[in-house]
Structure 1
Amino acid sequence: MHYVTSGQGPVVILIHGLFGDLDNLKALAKALEDSFTVVRVDILNHGASPSVANMDYRSLADSMAKLIQQLPGSQAILVGHSMGGKIAMATALCYPELVSKLVIADIAPVAYESRHDKVFSALESMPLAEIKDRRQALAHMKNWGIDDGTAQFLLKSLTRAAQGFSWKMNLTGLKASYANIIDWPTFSHSYQGPCLFVRGGDSDYVSAEHRQAIITQFPTVKAKTIEGTGHWLHAQKPTIFNRIVKDFITNN
């Protein structure tokens, strides 16, 4: 798994969401690196990490555990957004001895309905060999009904190739794994360490109906809502988000 490290102190691993890469939580890394060793990872099938045919939360937890064991110290603090939050939760549930604290951004430990079909279609139909610049790529995404903010985020994974462009992410592997990504496995234990859930006030990813699933699996949980933000809360109100995360991992 590809990763970059900055700062010094207790280890904090930042885990991005679906279609992202290690730069997604870069602002948070900068806010933490004066007090922590910050590790930003590219999840498998994303960024510069290896491509795999299929992935699920137990195998991703295994990969994260191996990474933690390679880093200084015996434990790490995990901070994950969306799919990255599910990876962080799965790692804490499978390897609680390796996870000292947990921060989950706008995702719950539950199965979700499919909501990315249009995104996959837009990405897969991109004429990579023919487009000349990002402006054309953006127009293609908008023609598929992808809003500007989401399109700009997705196009961060577009990179110039010998002819045209290519995707940094492994779309084939992600599509094959999508049923696992929106699902959630059953775990036999709860995680007893300090845990914070941060949700966007306008997001539908974490709702009242998820409360019992969260408390059952993470009984020490604390919760914060950032009003006026959706699922991309860390990008919409980064100063508030970064402060909430730093306060929690420093003082709990």
Structure 2
Amino acid sequence: MRESLARLGFQESVASEADVAIINSCTVTGKADSKTKRLIRKVKKDNPETKIFVTGCYVVFDDDIETVQKMPEVYKIVPNESKMELPRILGDLYGREGSRPREEEKVSGFDSHTRAFLKIQDGCDRKCSYCKVNLVRGPSRSKEKGKIIDELVQLVDSGYKEVVLTGICLGSWKGEKGEGLSDLLSEVDALGGDFRIRLSSIEPDCIDEGLIDLLAGSKRVCRHLHIPLQSGSDRILKLMNRKY
């Protein structure tokens, strides 16, 4: 989205000086919803003239959209499924001509980052009692292996030495032929080039012997796992509807 806006001539600015503020919201829990509303109020307080556009996971369900619509600080809501239309909407609003984004547009760079991030999975099939990500992001969906390799090569060619593979539920990635995450990493491990791979957060029940063996023997994949254990109590885990 940032790259699409830049091609239309928009420039990034601090919120207190911006003509437009885009708030890409999160809605894992009720606490995240409250943070979004506080941020909306703060941005408008610091810059009364800014036009605030709200998108992201918080504005998916009708009740939540209605709540945000009642906030006088908000200029416009763009539902999460339409967020990639924001460059077009702003381009039309300010009379900017240029290319429009595609739904699966690749990110070619990460300003102020020494590492790149490559999203390979979206959605979640889990039904944790405290979380509504599975409701707002839909079922688990995996990016095709060929597209992942192509985007990875593009990032490495752009000079990134470390690429972090990310996903809503990263360990749920599945290839077109039923391959799992360790199979994907094996192919990545065999690629040429001077770079390394890091995994973002991964569920403990997604870590199998194949993944452990690959990490132990790989010269490219970082031997590092960020594991959300959530709780050490079986009773609490059961109440949370965690499957381990």
TM-score scaled to structure 1, two decimals?
A: 0.29
TM-score scaled to structure 2, two decimals?
A: 0.29
Q: Does 1 or 2 have the higher relative contact order (CA < 8 Å, sep 6+)?
A: 1
Give 1 or 2 for the bigger CA radius of gyration.
2
